[in-house]
Structure 1
Amino acid sequence: MEQRSDRDEFSDFAGGRWPSLVRAGILMGCSLSDAEDLAQTTLTRCYQQWSRVARADNPSAYAHRMLVNAFIDTKRRRRNSELLVAQPVEGSISDPMQEIRLDIERSLGQLTQQQRLVVVLRYFLDLSERETAEVLGVPTGTVKSRLARALEALSADPRLATIALEASDD
């Protein structure tokens, strides 16, 4: 039986993680191109430290931690460089799925950065509370309290009220 090389293992890992890393970047507040840049930065860092990532108990959680760190680094460097607007500048939206995505992004945009990260990791990347705590480097109780506050804020938003109520039943 042929042994797989580190390059092959990383290639499989990166291919499997790319969509969720990009999606997480978008849900954390990045544009599509910025989310792709963030995912690329994350996977580059994973490749540079592949032996450590591959040995981790949960390589996906390790990569998500790198994603969060890269996101925070990016926010520090680009503070106040973009002007966010409540409504799209160009005309109306014809794609109903795009409207739903915009509603989700607007609603998540009302949360603090810490709350938004917890919601994205917990509900969109489907990490457990313990895994979310590991990724963020905080106690599990902190994850629970941030989630409770985030879900309370989201439940006040009529666009996401039903999603927040369903999530709180988990």
Structure 2
Amino acid sequence: MAEHTGFEEFYSGTRHRLVTYLYAMTGDRAEAQDAAQEAYVRAWQRWSTVSTYDNPEAWLRNVASRLCMNHWRKARNRVAAYLRHGTGPDVDAPSENTVALIAALKRLPVADRQVITMYHLMDLSVAEVAAQTGLPVNTVKTRLSRGRRALAGLLDTDASEEYTHA
């Protein structure tokens, strides 16, 4: 703990000035607070060295400023990528069957839903599902069978409800 001696006083004495400086630079209080927090974490990790500098606060301000600049660069790159590529093509709304299937899947226990989606939607074999989930092959087969039966019942129930409401 001796290596962090004085850090608490340093933090208390500089935090308001640093956040005010970063807020003035960025115009965004949350961004200023995030950058300040990250800069203090870095100062804490290197406190045995930073505390020996002639002006540890200048080092801290420099680190925090660079963090803000990196944030701006990333934002600028995101905007440039958006302008270059635009948004993706419009996607059609899901079909009624897809909506019904997803609703039925949500009603299954997570364990059954997991093996059904891996097997049927990701086209994994029973052995691959077993390997990825860490389950025995027979457990995967059981969950597939149980899940299919439950799905069939849920989808038949949903279909029969549609006909009674029509």
Question: What TM-score, normalized by structure 2, do the two folds share?
Answer: 0.43
Question: What TM-score, normalized by structure 1, do the two folds share?
Answer: 0.42
Higher helix proportion (structure 1 or 2): 2
